[in-house]
Amino acid sequence: MIRNLTILLIIIIFSSCVPSKDLVYLQGDPVQKTEIHKINNEPYKLQISDVISINIKAPDEKLVALFKKTEGTSSSQQPTDGGYFSGYTVDNHGNIRLPYLGEINVLGFTTKEVRVKLEERLKGMFKNPDDVFVTVKLAGIKYTVIGEVANPGPKVIYQNQVSIIDAISNAGDISVTGNRKQIEIYRGYLNNDVEKFSIDLTSVDAFNSEIFYIKPNDIINVLPLKQKAWGTGTTGLSSLTTILSVFTLVTSTILLVRGL
């Protein structure tokens, strides 16, 4: 009986540890640079609650100053927030409101298309419209991470483009018991549909995934490995400690029963 329990103990220890291949990111042959540039990263179409940064430049600085939005912004925020707190939020009707230009509908438009819209509206306000330069970009990408990460919850990265690697790193990385081979991403669309994607971050092929770059309001779900469900530990030592405790209890019980 004791011999059988010993064999069972050894089997459980080896099966309960997390293999190193399940913990290493981007395994495989390096991806050629020319292949990386082929990643499907279609321009994002603005949705409700998105925040965009608008910058207008022209020789007439006094006129440009009329369009600058400064409220809610401090000098300490500007280097890091990328315009997130001083940007323009898309309201529930899909509009943004600019000084002197009023409401402009941007729902479903790309930042490039919004730029063209603004340039058309500004033509009549400047003597030389060709000297007016408008820049429109996402002020930050807001997303949510749940599951097996160090710091789950809503996140904002003040960049115009964020990869899944950036997003997870910003959440404190995946725990040892997190499943890096099946990261789920839930993405909503303008028609209220929600699509579920999956990406394997242990493979270098992740670079070629259509969801390698996340979109605003994405939900990233990091599932647990089966080892966590078993509760046997994440390393050989922790598994051994847990199982030895159980083994000792079972052995003591058997010896006690035999002694009665």
Q: Taking a C-beta distance cutoff of 8 angstroms, is the pair 129, 121 a contact?
A: no
Q: Which of the residue ranges 19-28, 63-72, 136-145 would you say has the lowest mean pLDDT?
A: 63-72
Confidence check: pLDDT of 150 > 90: yes
**Mean pLDDT within 15-34:** 66
Q: How confident is the model at residue 66 (pLDDT cuts 50, 70, 90)?
A: confident
Distance CA 40, CA 18 (A): 32
Q: Taking a C-beta distance cutoff of 8 angstroms, is the pair 186, 196 a contact?
A: yes
- The whole-number pLDDT of residue 40 equals 56
Q: Taking a C-beta distance cutoff of 8 angstroms, is the pair 178, 8 a contact?
A: no
Residue type at 47 in one-letter notation: Q
- Residue 149's DSSP bridge partners are 174
* 51-138 under CATH 3.30.1950.10, yes or no: yes
Mind listing the pLDDT tens digit for each residue in 32-55? Answer: 555 554 555 678 999 999 999 999
DSSP three-state, residue 109:
coil
DSSP line for 155-188: EEE-SS--BHHHHHHTTT-B-TTEEEEEEEEEEE
What does pTM read for this prediction? 0.73
- The whole-number pLDDT of residue 77 equals 41
Does 60 or 140 have the greater pLDDT score?
140
- What is the CATH class of 20-40+141-224? alpha beta
Q: Taking a C-beta distance cutoff of 8 angstroms, is the pair 52, 136 a contact?
A: yes
Q: Taking a C-beta distance cutoff of 8 angstroms, is the pair 210, 168 a contact?
A: no
Mind listing the pLDDT tens digit for each residue in 78-93? Answer: 445 556 677 899 999 9
Mind listing the pLDDT tens digit for each residue in 96-106? Answer: 999 888 999 99
- The whole-number pLDDT of residue 79 equals 42
Mind listing the pLDDT tens digit for each residue in 197-226? Answer: 999 999 999 988 889 999 999 999 999 988
